[in-house]
Amino acid sequence: MPKLAVSLALLGLLLVPAAASGAQQTASAGNVTASFSFSGQFPHFSNERLTISQSGTVLYDQAAVSRFCGSRCAPGSTSAQASSVHLVNLEGTSQLDVVLDLFTGGAHCCSVEQVFSFDPGTMTYVKTERNFGDPGARLVPDPARGGRVEFLTADDSFAYEFTDFAASGLPVQILSFANRRFHNVTRSFPSRVAADARRWMRAFRDMARDHYRDSVGVIAAWAADEDLLGHSRHVDRFLNAQARAGHLNAATGQPGGKRFVANLHRFLRRHGYLR
């Protein structure tokens, strides 16, 4: 049975903070420098602070807090090899955005991404944040959009929806950032969605060895990907055939078979996979 941690590792999304006694992480590009400092060791961090300057003038200097974890957030990364603070081209403008990775703690939670956008009217940076849940997010460049950076993640709403967490499949999700808002642009990356669909179908086929004991989680992720690609008729035919064959099962006592197919259809429509 493929575990969710395995699937997320394939996407390179898991963020596991390491131990540290104190650190300052700095990112610089052009005339902008962003510094993130903290002290303590996982899971107890303190004195977390973000400072952003332009040409040596400090324009932002505040404690790093989040509405998702208050002042008790952990850095997204505390290793010497990876930083929690980044300067990236999110919006295709001359001004780079500052991205800060935070971690709320917990067995299945949660990676928070904070974006700090420069506001020329107030000459400071404005914070926007999103909770990316258990899968977290990875910054990836998009060559087709002039090197602008997107957030590569997975849809955490699928966790626990049809089966337990370990057997849940989370389909790939890609978000852009513009005008201080995150935007779901997954449909604009059909090749990545198709690759993700193939991964979930391989997992479903592998479950034949276990006689499809708990298969609804991974096939739900496959169906979501395929629906994004416009293959809804194929999805319906396949799911109905698998339901008749007894291959759509949940080991947790949640509905399988035709009831699962009906629940999945409603879920996908509610979450925008079915137009």
Q: What is the dihedral of CA 252, 263, 110, 229, to 10 degrees?
A: 130
Condensed to tens digits (0 to 9), the pLDDT of residues 99-135 reads: 999 998 877 788 999 999 999 999 999 999 999 999 9
**Helix orientation angle between 190-206 and 216-228, rounded to the nearest 10 degrees:** 160
User: Mean per-residue pLDDT for 171-193?
Assistant: 96
Q: How confident is the model over 59-72, as pLDDT tens digits?
A: 999 999 999 988 88
Q: Cβ distance 11 to 154 under 8 Å?
A: yes
* Cα 249 to the center of its chain, rounded Å: 27
pTM equals: 0.86
Distance separating alpha carbons of residues 163 and 255, to the nearest angstrom? 9
The position carrying tokens 């298969």 is: 215
The region that residue 210 occupies, defined by phi over 0 for left and psi between -120 and 50 for alpha, beta otherwise, is: alpha
Coil, strand, or helix at residue 134? coil
Residue 12 pLDDT exceeds 50: no
Mean pLDDT of 198-221: 96
- Name every residue whose Cβ is closer than 8 Å to that of residue 198 and which is 6 or more positions away in sequence: none
Which residues are CB-contacts of 30 (< 8 A; sequence separation ≥ 6)? 96
pLDDT at 245 over 90: yes
Does 198 score more than 90 pLDDT? yes
Q: Which domains does the chain have, with CATH numbers?
A: 15-154 (2.40.128), 191-270 (no CATH)
Backbone angles phi, psi at 265, to 5 degrees: -60, -45
Query: Once rounded to an integer, what is the mean pLDDT over residues 156-171?
Result: 95
Kindly tell me if the per-residue pLDDT of 168 is higher than 50. yes
